Amino acid sequence: MDKLKAKQDDLFVEDITLPTAGIVMEPGGDKFWTCSANQIETISVYQVDINSGTASAPVTLTNDKSETMAGVYIALQTDNDTVNNVWVTTYGSEAGQNLFYFDPSTPGTVNKVNISDDLSNLRDILWDENSQLLWVCDDLKGIFTIDPKTSAIANGPDKSNDVRRLALTSVNSESRIWFTFASEEERYKVGYYDKDFKRYELEETVNNIPYSLAADHEGKNLWMVLENGEVWHISDADADTPAKMKLESITSFARPAQQILCDIHGYLWVTLNGDPDSSVKPGLAECMPNGRVKGYYELQNANDAYDIAYDKNSDTFYLTDQYDTQSAKKSITAFQPADWYNPTGPKYTLTAPEQIETPSTEQYPNWTVTVTKDTPPLQLNDQPPTEDVWVDFMIYEPSVGTFKDGNGKHVTGIPIKATANDGNITVDSLYALGENGTTFNVYANIRGQTDGKVVTARIFAPVTAVDIIEGGTINVHEQKESTTDLIVQIESDPNSLSKRGVTFSVTDPNVLLSDGTGTPGSSQTIYTNSQGVASVHVVGGKNAADNVPVTVVCAGKQPATPPVVNVRPMPTTLGLQDPSTWTCRPGSEAVTPFVITLTGAAAGEAIDLDFEHYGDDASSAHLYDNINKKPVDHSSLKGLLVTDSSGTVTLAKTETYGIFCGKNMKSLVVTVNYESEDPTLTNSETYAVKI
């Protein structure tokens, strides 16, 4: 698939014209085996040379009861790199359930194991070289083993409901066979057999059909994919008891899945089903071991992704297609992912928002991701790429959100190039299809790397306005956080206020913004609460210009007037001048003007003042607001004052505030505290009031 910079070609095997099912790679890696999937009276089994793309003459499996059947899975009975027998399970009508095997050196002789007549659906088969036994699972009979020397059952059958898949892990050079099955409570479980055919089960269950299992090469981790696209992880799979293992869900693709595989690098690959009757194409998703999606690839030349085999020598995957092939689509797809990350070459970092918004049933205006080249240690990762870098975007909920390609067609994935010496990517092709309030995930990943980003897209009604409710002008000390936050509120119709992303940004490097938890930066995206309110802290640097504007954007809307920031130097000295003598009659307010003057501060310096008082009747004493004719709450006044051009601040309280003395007041002391951000400049004075 050229647009994803991945080698994805059909194997033009002229001899394979039928849909295919099971596929398995030979130990040497230069050949694989596959079988036809359509239900006819015979099944064709092929050996394919991956270098030439040619198939051997088919080995024909025939049902002697003239019943239709289809191939399912293949297992290779091996001894090191030698293939001694090829085993194939088939299904169909009652007489279509068969277990065939043949020696590839004499393919004309095909054998069939006569197990019984009550087989239901033969599912998976697995060859265990340690025990030299073939493991078989069947929906009705359960799990059993076959001894190839006698073609007879060696162990079992051990009855289980709806047995699905088998996986082989190695623990201390001894086999551990994992399987999945349906419990009587209509839940699905996972368990394993030891070398003595003793069965163990995990207590945890899942609520959908497990379709496939995959283990890492050490047998320490096991993954399984469910029919609904969920991926589950079993940690400590080599522990001595199931109680020491943990089963947990790590990701979901929200669409039907079929197989899961762990490659030699430890990455997971999941086949996602297509639908030949619709525009949904089959796909192959690559995940980190923790479930983080690394990339997604659509299979352009296939109807389906049924089974998968992996050649570790060339990092190439081979996928079968169980649907009827069309003239332009073949039954085997050879796929090689994007260039693997070279640890000795350049590495790039992808910066993307954690959440974006898109209006209901509309195109999202634009959102930006940035690609930067990682420079040597101790330098900032802010260099643009030195070559064109492709970023692949993928959506797994196409019914809720989608992209539009260059032809105007809705697609689930789209590649966009970050041009060298720029690095910014503007995504303008994202469309929302879901209802207001729904979400979907967008995965973005740099090709060939393993650190993709997951962005949540939230569908909202359009924002109609962004209003500043506090902090239109903010004064802040150098290298200190402001005591006043910049607070905004959004308006939306219909009402859809919470979880809206508001981006605050500045261009002056001497002003930074902080969300209160992380490292301050030039930009912060804050999400609104249920009232539509979002706030940001302002941090001042040195030598900042006056009235530095702060850009505030929410879904394309900005305040009518941008807020501004003034960064002021720290004061060096502060002095307090005595105010006039205050007198106060019991039960009334002070008659002497209440004036305090602070000196020694630079122009525009912010000073905190705290007024306190107490006395014999402290509960009845308080500061009094002369304008509004009511006491000031909590019997105190605390405010942020800014010095004038001469570096002084005067608080004349006769016009605004007064001191009210209680009727039984005997004495009153007013304490004036002035504090700056610098603790060495903190001071206080006390003054008596005549009663």
Give tens-digit pLDDT for 242-253: 888 888 888 887
pLDDT, residue 8, reads 57
Assess whether pLDDT exceeds 50 at residue 2: no
Assess whether pLDDT exceeds 60 at residue 577: no
pLDDT, residue 646, reads 57
Cα torsion 288, 323, 135, 83 to 10°: value is -90
Tokens encoding 232: 């589950």
Q: What is the mean pLDDT of residues 636-650?
A: 54
Assess whether pLDDT exceeds 70 at residue 657: no
User: In this structure, is the dihedral angle defined by the CA atoms of residues 342, 344, 346 and 351, taken in order, positive or negative?
Assistant: positive
Rounded Cα gap, residues 540 and 477, in angstroms: 6
pLDDT, residue 564, reads 93
What letters, b where the CB count within 10 A reaches 16 and e where it falls short, cover 27-62? eeeebbbbbbbbbeeebbbbbbebeeebbeebbebe
Neighbours of 318 (CB within 10 A): 22
Q: What is the mean pLDDT of residues 470-483?
A: 82
What's the Rg (C-alpha) of the chain?
Answer: 36
Rounded Cα gap, residues 115 and 118, in angstroms: 9
Segment 385-428, tens digit of pLDDT = 767 777 878 786 777 888 887 777 777 777 788 877 777 888 88
Residue 574: CA atoms inside 13 Å, Cβ hemisphere, count?
A: 26
- pLDDT band for position 272 (cuts 50, 70, 90): confident
CA 79 to chain centre: 42
- pLDDT band for position 379 (cuts 50, 70, 90): very low
- pLDDT band for position 650 (cuts 50, 70, 90): low
Cis peptide before 210 (omega within 30 of 0): no
CB-based contact 449:465 (threshold 8 Å): no
- Please state the domain extents for the chain: 348-460, 463-568, 575-690
pLDDT, residue 171, reads 52
Q: What is the mean pLDDT of residues 645-671?
A: 57
Cα torsion 647, 651, 655, 659 to 10°: value is -170
Rounded Cα gap, residues 44 and 372, in angstroms: 52
Rounded Cα gap, residues 515 and 528, in angstroms: 12
Distance set, CA 430 to CA 39, 360, 418, 500 (Å) = 42, 12, 17, 18
Task: State percent of the chain over pLDDT 70.
Answer: 67
Neighbours of 136 (CB within 10 A): 29
- Fold exhibited by the domain 348-460: Immunoglobulin-like (2.60.40)
Looking at 3.20.20.80, 2.40.50.140, 2.60.40.10, 2.40.50.180, the CATH number of the domain 575-690 comes to 2.60.40.10
pLDDT, residue 210, reads 85
Rounded Cα gap, residues 25 and 67, in angstroms: 29
Angle at 286 between CA 280 and CA 291, to 5 degrees: 110
Tokens encoding 604: 């525009």
To the question of pTM greater than 0.75 for the whole model, the response is: no
Q: Which 3 state secondary structure label does DSSP give 544?
A: coil
Distance set, CA 439 to CA 337, 402, 499 (Å) = 29, 12, 11
Assess whether pLDDT exceeds 50 at residue 226: yes
Beta bridge partners of 392: 415, 445
Tokens encoding 563: 């807020």
pLDDT, residue 341, reads 37
Return the amino acid letter for 362.
E
- pLDDT band for position 179 (cuts 50, 70, 90): confident
Cis peptide before 385 (omega within 30 of 0): no
Q: What is the mean pLDDT of residues 640-665?
A: 56
Return the amino acid letter for 164.
R
What letters, b where the CB count within 10 A reaches 16 and e where it falls short, cover 542-560? eebeeebbbebbbbebebe
Q: What is the mean pLDDT of residues 477-501?
A: 82
- Fold exhibited by the domain 463-568: Immunoglobulin-like (2.60.40)
Q: Which 3 state secondary structure label does DSSP give 178?
A: strand
Q: What is the mean pLDDT of residues 118-139?
A: 81
Beta bridge partners of 604: none
pLDDT, residue 467, reads 95
Greater confidence, 149 or 161?
A: 149
Neighbours of 497 (CB within 10 A): 18
Highest mean pLDDT among 55-59, 355-359, 666-670: 55-59
Mean pLDDT, the chain, rounded, equals: 75
Q: What is the mean pLDDT of residues 656-683?
A: 58
CB-based contact 375:450 (threshold 8 Å): no
Task: State percent of the chain over pLDDT 90.
Answer: 13
Residue 206 per-residue DSSP state: B
Q: Which range (218-232, 257-271, 383-397) has the least confidence? A: 383-397
Beta bridge partners of 617: none
Tokens encoding 438: 């729904």
Assess whether pLDDT exceeds 50 at residue 339: no
Greater confidence, 117 or 41?
A: 41
Asked whether the domain spanning 575-690 has the same topology as the one spanning 348-460, the reply is yes
Rounded Cα gap, residues 357 and 364, in angstroms: 7
Q: Which helix (H) or strand (E) holds 22?
A: strand 20-25
E runs forming strands in 569-677: 575-577, 582-583, 595-599, 606-615, 622-625, 630-631, 637-642, 649-652, 657-660, 668-675
CB-based contact 394:413 (threshold 8 Å): yes
Q: Which range (16-25, 59-68, 426-435, 479-488) has the least confidence? A: 59-68
Assess whether pLDDT exceeds 50 at residue 690: yes
- pLDDT band for position 31 (cuts 50, 70, 90): very high
Q: What is the mean pLDDT of residues 263-288?
A: 77
Rounded Cα gap, residues 540 and 442, in angstroms: 35
Furthest-apart CA atoms within the chain: distance in Å: 119
Assess whether pLDDT exceeds 80 at residue 135: yes
Q: What is the mean pLDDT of residues 621-637?
A: 56
CA 342 to chain centre: 24
Q: What is the mean pLDDT of residues 275-283?
A: 68
CB-based contact 313:12 (threshold 8 Å): no
